[in-house]
């Protein structure tokens, strides 16, 4: 019974394709998986918009939208209807083809990233040997669409927003990749299914998730910061800060194309959270062995939704970082720390089991963090700003 609940979608897929001739069955299986992804994740997107608005409202001492439907739960429907029926304005001097293609390429590239995430036991669309690189390749393609959007609008503010967004994305992509490399080093494979399998068993009380190791925690924190920056999410949302550049690179978009950008951003948030849970939080595995009766896909989506709540929480808490503060942070703090973390992962791997490797790793990482923090504060990088004349 537990087994059936866990594999319910796989069994459903097998039953549906059994109606087709054998020749068409592999294609139909993949097609069913694609349809499932295309239906589930935009549905989650609609739910997330309402959670975000209400959650941010509660954090800011107010109620979110509560007029459309009970507790405002049909607000995404109203938003969808609004964005579909708005007039699609294209500036006269805009580059028509690029202007049209930019949101399309963004959404396509982001959807492709979902193909390698294992969403449950046996529930991955394509089990690729180099799955992690595929994921990062797709997220690198989104940068190109950001540039196309900014350039084709023929608006210098859009272009400025696009350049800032791309600079931010390529800086933090390095940190994203390096923190994932730590996990790859330990799991020994680039395939996401194998990475989840390596974390699936639990020894002792804590499960074998990589976040419960010193290097894993450090890598997870760096991954989380880089993920927030990659998806242009607060506090790194200077490219789309409403008070800075109107809407940055998607200023000149209205109606459905803007909704596509919005969809693309939230889907990127989902897929990066999905990758984060796969790499560090054990994917679809349950934390304690007595909880394995809960189906694996519930664990995966639960962990992804918790990551989304943390994203919303950070958005409600932190002010926006300025572009140079953002870049300083990436190149002067996050990158050295991530490289050190790679070193510590290697140490961990080759030191053998026991308490010694825990102590050494923790001491090196904590010491480096405190040292870099103090040096940064002493030099004035991270401290509250001192004003020479206004004291």
Partner 1 sequence: MLGEGILKGMAETAKNFAGSFVSAERLTTVQYPEQRIPTMENARVFPFLVYDGPDWQAGLRCVACQICEKECPPKCIYIEKSTGKKPDYVGKQQFYPAKFDIDIAVCMSCQICVEVCPFEAIKMDTQFELATDDRFGGLLLDREQLAKSNEYYHSIHPNEATEVDGRLAEEKAKVEAKAKAAAEAAAAKAAAVAAPAAKPERGQA
Partner 2 sequence: MGIMFYLIAVITLAGALAAMTLKHLVHAALAVTVAFGGLALFFLNLDAQFAGFAQILVYIGAVAILVVFAILLTRGSELPKDGVFSRTWFVGLPIAAGIFAVLGWALIASSKALPSEMATPAVTVHDIGVALVGRYVLPLEIVALLLTAATIGAVIVALHEKARAR
Q: Which residues bind partner 2 (CB under 8 A)?
A: 98, 128-130, 133-134, 136-138, 140-141, 143-144, 147-148, 151, 159, 163, 166, 170, 173, 188-190
Judged by beta carbon distances under 5 to 8 A according to partner kind, the member of partner 1, partner 2, none in contact with residue 318 is partner 1
Per the CB < 8 A criterion, the answer to whether 268 and 231 are in contact is yes
DSSP 3-state of 375: helix
Beta-bridge partner residues of 199:
none
64 backbone dihedrals φ, ψ, rounded to 5°: -80, -160
207 backbone dihedrals φ, ψ, rounded to 5°: -70, 170
Under rule CB under 8 A, which residues in 19-58 are in contact with partner 1? 55, 58
Under rule CB under 8 A, which residues in 313-332 are in contact with partner 1? 313-314, 316-318
CB of 97 to partner 2, least distance (A): 8
Per the CB < 8 A criterion, the answer to whether 152 and 91 are in contact is no
**In this structure, is the dihedral angle defined by the CA atoms of residues 293, 298, 300 and 302, taken in order, positive or negative?**
negative
Nearer to partner 1, 50 or 372 (CB): 372
Rounded Cα–Cα distance for residues 179 and 329 (Å): 16
Nearer to partner 2, 127 or 287 (CB): 127
Nearer to partner 1, 66 or 292 (CB): 66
Judged by beta carbon distances under 5 to 8 A according to partner kind, the member of partner 2, partner 1, none in contact with residue 156 is none
Check binding of 289 to partner 1 (CB under 8 A).
no
Beta-bridge partner residues of 207:
202
202 backbone dihedrals φ, ψ, rounded to 5°: -120, 135
CB of 62 to partner 1, least distance (A): 5
Judged by beta carbon distances under 5 to 8 A according to partner kind, the member of partner 2, partner 1, none in contact with residue 163 is partner 2
CB of 266 to partner 1, least distance (A): 20
DSSP 3-state of 94: coil
Under rule CB under 8 A, which residues in 335-374 are in contact with partner 1? 369-370, 372-374
Judged by beta carbon distances under 5 to 8 A according to partner kind, the member of partner 1, partner 2, none in contact with residue 63 is partner 1
322 alpha-carbon distance from chain centroid? 21
Nearer to partner 2, 104 or 166 (CB): 166
Check binding of 376 to partner 1 (CB under 8 A).
yes
Check binding of 63 to partner 1 (CB under 8 A).
yes
DSSP one-letter string for 191-251:
-HHHHHHHTS-B-SSSBS-GGGSHHHHHHHHHHHHHHHHHTT-TTS-GGG-TTTSTTGGGT
Judged by beta carbon distances under 5 to 8 A according to partner kind, the member of partner 2, partner 1, none in contact with residue 289 is none
Judged by beta carbon distances under 5 to 8 A according to partner kind, the member of partner 1, partner 2, none in contact with residue 147 is partner 2
Give the interface with partner 1 as residue ranges (CB under 8 A).
55, 58-63, 66, 313-314, 316-318, 369-370, 372-374, 376-377, 382
């Amino acid at each position: 019974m537990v087994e059936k609940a866990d594999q319910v979608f796989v069994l459903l897929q097998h039953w549906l394709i059994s109606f087709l001739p054998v020749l068409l069955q592999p294609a139909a299986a993949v097609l069913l998986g694609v349809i499932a992804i295309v239906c589930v994740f935009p549905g989650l997107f609609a739910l997330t918009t309402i959670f975000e608005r209400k959650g941010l409202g509660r954090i800011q001492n107010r109620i979110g939208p509560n007029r459309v439907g009970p507790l405002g739960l049909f607000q995404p429907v109203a938003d969808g209807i609004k964005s579909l029926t708005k007039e699609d304005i294209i500036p006269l001097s805009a580059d028509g083809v690029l202007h049209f293609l930019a949101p399309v390429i963004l959404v396509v590239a982001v959807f492709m990233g979902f193909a390698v995430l294992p969403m449950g036991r046996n529930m991955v669309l394509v089990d690729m040997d180099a799955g992690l690189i595929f994921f990062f390749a797709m997220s690198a393609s989104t940068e190109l669409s950001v540039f196309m959007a900014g350039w084709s609008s023929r608006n210098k503010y859009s272009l400025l927003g696009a350049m800032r967004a791309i600079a931010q994305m390529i800086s933090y992509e390095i940190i994203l990749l390096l923190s994932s490399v730590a996990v790859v080093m330990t799991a020994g494979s680039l395939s996401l299914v194998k990475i989840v399998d390596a974390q699936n068993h639990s020894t002792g009380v804590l499960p074998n998730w990589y976040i419960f190791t010193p290097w894993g925690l450090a890598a997870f924190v760096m991954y989380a910061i880089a993920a927030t920056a990659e998806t242009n999410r607060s506090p790194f949302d200077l490219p789309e800060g409403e008070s800075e550049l109107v809407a940055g690179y998607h200023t000149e978009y209205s109606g459905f194309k803007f909704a596509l950008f919005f969809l693309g951003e939230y889907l990127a948030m989902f897929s990066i959270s999905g990758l984060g849970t796969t790499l560090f939080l054990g994917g679809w595995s349950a934390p304690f062995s007595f909880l394995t009766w809960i189906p694996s896909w519930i664990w995966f989506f639960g962990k992804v939704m918790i990551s989304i709540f943390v994203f919303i929480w950070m958005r409600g808490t932190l002010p926006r970082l300025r572009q140079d503060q953002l870049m300083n942070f990436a190149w002067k703090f996050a990158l050295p720390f991530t490289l050190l973390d790679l070193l510590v992962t290697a140490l961990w791997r080759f030191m053998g089991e026991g308490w010694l490797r825990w102590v050494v790793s923790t001491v090196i990482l904590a010491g480096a963090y405190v040292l870099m923090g103090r040096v940064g504060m002493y030099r004035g990088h991270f401290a509250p700003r001192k004003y020479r004349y206004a004291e």
